[in-house]
Structure 1
Amino acid sequence: MHPTLVLFDLDGTLVDTAPDLAYALNLQRQLHGLAAMPENEIRPYASHGSTGLLKVGFGIDKQHPEFADYVSEYLSLYGQVFDRDPQLFGGMQDLLNSFAQQNILWGVVTNKHRQFSQPLMSKLGLSEQCACLICGDDVSQPKPSPEGLLTACDKLGFLPKDTVYVGDAERDIQAGKAAGMRTVIAMYGYLSEQDMPQQWLADNMIYQPQELGLLI
């Protein structure tokens, strides 16, 4: 395939933020008198936002009467540690360098709010390389809605059919397909045992970032 624009999800696709997401969840568990959970138990749910993290950390969902309070508490704690140690996935910097050499534009479309996303990109030195950053609070409907992806295309002047979207969650693939883009699953990301990526009907799967370069 020959896309002219590559868009990435942030958490679990471009950047490994699971250690900091898990650290914040364990801080919250500590506040509630619970023992810390191993990071590897939290990691598969790190792409599912506070909803997924609270489900694994406290066994609660949106039906819980205090769910909104738990979300607020978690986001407050995460806000204190979110830039503690974010890392690009192994091989990602080489991929981005190759994009620069080939004049391939890339951007990020994430459900993560800008107050976290923009500082993360800056800390990793990606802000100037990234052609656009569309965050969850920049749009009226987050993924699986295609709104953010289409916004990125409009902003950069590309057609969806000339764009590929890479993500590690089913909603990423749903959003990409709804937008009319080529879709790629980042199998190295935060997939749980319950995920069935073969059923997401993406165009491709990659098991390490460098493989994306072979598809473009």
Structure 2
Amino acid sequence: MKAVLFDLDGTLIDTAADFVRIIQQMCREEGRALVAPELIRTQVSEGARAMVKLVYPELQLEDPVFLAHRQRFLDMYGADIAVDTDLFDGMYPLLEQLEAQDIPWGIVTNKPRWLSEALLKALNLTERCAVLVCPEDVIRTKPDPEPMYLAAKQLELAAEDCIYVGDHPRDIDAGRHAKMTTILAAYGYLPLQYKDDLTAWQADYIVDTVAELQRLIQKLLVQRQTAVS
């Protein structure tokens, strides 16, 4: 393997606490029952609409009122994007080890670019991240493999020389379709409807912790170096 690519929320960065803070603030402002943090966590990878829907279940997604609430949610998040957010425990050593081995790492996400860039800047990761592919960069987003091919192209690598790590079936589907080695991050924000049978995602590997992920990536790198030599 020559590069490691990550999904953003729930895989590389633990953003859930800030989403919980904002969703519960919206609940309080509307005089509604607080949505449980555990439920919000399962919807993070589904995007802003899914999280806002937890507060306003009676509204249709295309209702102008719902869209206004969604925009308010995004504005609140953008204004305070990393209050309680940080990399998952153990991720800093993993990135440092990759960098020490001259293995580039990057991000392929369905998170809008303005939010992704703001988040990376807040965590001082902008210069360290070798490639960032967001929805605005492609015609078809994950689970289509187009973003994966673009990331590999920008790294000047073949897609099959990349590892992709994600916590949603669309991450694994996109990686598999691009013939990348796929790793399911079971420590992430697994969607409720998919979490009972992780083997059905058809990932090449499943890891339960970042420490396990680090060991696996190093094993794959060694295997490749051995095969090449």
Q: What TM-score do the two structures reach when normalised by structure 1? A: 0.91
Secondary structure of the residue aligned to 1:74 is helix
Secondary structure of the residue aligned to 1:158 is coil
| Alignment check: 8 A CA contact 2:81 2:118 kept | no
| Alignment check: 8 A CA contact 1:112 1:136 kept | yes
Letter in 2 for 1:176: G
Where does structure 2 lack aligned partners over 5 or more consecutive residues? 221-229
Where does structure 1 lack aligned partners over 5 or more consecutive residues? none
Q: Distance in 2 between matches of 1:190 and 1:54?
A: 16
**Corresponding position of 2:123:** 124
Deviation at 1:178, TM superposition (A): 1.6
Structure 1 runs (4+) greater than 3 angstroms displaced: 60-64
Secondary structure of the residue aligned to 1:23 is helix
Distance change >3 Å, CA 132–CA 16, structure 1 → 2: same
Deviation at 1:122, TM superposition (A): 1.7
Q: Distance in 2 between matches of 1:60 and 1:8?
A: 34
Q: Distance in 1 between matches of 2:42 and 2:87?
A: 17
Deviation at 1:79, TM superposition (A): 1.8
Q: 2:35 aligns with which of 37, 52, 60?
A: 37
Q: Does 1:71 align with 2:61?
A: no
Letter in 2 for 1:203: D
**Corresponding position of 1:187:** 186
Letter in 2 for 1:205: I
Matches for 1:151-166 after TM superposition, within 5 Å: 151-166=150-165
Per-residue deviation, residues 93-151 of structure 1 (Å, max 9, x unmatched): 11111111211111001111111111211221211221111122222222112221111
Q: 1:27 aligns with which of 25, 38, 43?
A: 25
Rg (Cα) greater in structure = 2
Q: Distance in 1 between matches of 2:24 and 2:42?
A: 15
Q: Distance in 1 between matches of 2:82 and 2:47?
A: 16
Q: What TM-score do the two structures reach when normalised by structure 2? A: 0.86
Q: Distance in 2 between matches of 1:187 and 1:62?
A: 31
Q: Does 1:198 align with 2:199?
A: yes
Per-residue deviation, residues 132-182 of structure 1 (Å, max 9, x unmatched): 111222222221122211111111111111111100011111111121211
Deviation at 1:63, TM superposition (A): 5.0
**Corresponding position of 1:143:** 142
CA RMSD across the alignment: 1.8
Deviation at 1:189, TM superposition (A): 0.2
Deviation at 1:28, TM superposition (A): 2.3
